[in-house]
Amino acid sequence: MANDKAQGIEGDLLVILRHGPHGTSWLREGLDAALVAAAFGRRVTLLFMGEGVTALVPGQKSGPLGQKGTSPTLEMLEMYDIDTLLVEAEALSHFGLDVDGLMLPARAVAPAELAALATTHALVLTF
C-alpha cells in the first residue's frame, strides 16, 4: 500500500499552487496561506502544478506594473520548516524545466502519485 502514503509524504496541509508568479495574486495567496499554517505548527507540503512550476524558476523579477515577485517569499519557506516541495513532472517537461535547475530543492511527481497525495493530507487547499 505504498500509494496510501504517497511514497512517504504525508502531513497536515497540502497546498496546490497552479498559477504562475505574475498575472494574478493566486500564487502569493497560496504561499501566504502555507506560511500562516506553518507558523501555527502545521506540517505543510507544497505542490506546484501546471503554470505554478514557473514560480520556481531562478532569477525572477517584478512583474508588469511593478507586481511584486514571489522569490522572497519562496526563500522564506525554510524558515517556516516548509521543506517538502513537489513539482508536477509533466508541467516541468511542458515548460522545458528540470528539477535540478529550480531555485529550491523539489521532487518531481508522476501523474500516478498526484492522485494519492490528496488522500495523505488532512486538508488540501488549491490556489
DSSP 46-114: EEE-GGGGGGG-TT----GGGPPPSHHHHHTGGGGT--EEEEEHHHHHHTT--GGGSSS--EEE-HHHH
* Residue 65 pLDDT: 53
Count of domains in the chain? 1
Cα 107 to Cα 84: distance, rounded to the nearest angstrom: 8
Read off the amino acid at residue 56. L
Answer yes or no: is 102 within a domain: yes
Query: Rounded mean pLDDT of the chain?
Result: 87
Share of residues in the chain with pLDDT > 90 (%): 65
Domain harbouring 111, CATH code:
3.40.1260.10
Chain mean position to CA 63: 19
In a domain, 64, yes or no: no
On whether residue 7 sits in a domain, the answer given is yes
Q: Is residue 53 part of a domain?
A: yes
Of 98, 4, 111, whose CA–CA distance to 49 is shortest?
111
Strand pairing report for 121-126 and 11-17: parallel
* Predicted confidence (pLDDT) per residue in 88-113, tens digit: 999 999 999 999 999 999 999 999 89
Q: Which three cell numbers stand for residue 90?
A: 509533466
Asked if residue 42 is part of any domain, the answer here is yes
Its domain, for residue 109, covers 2-59+69-126
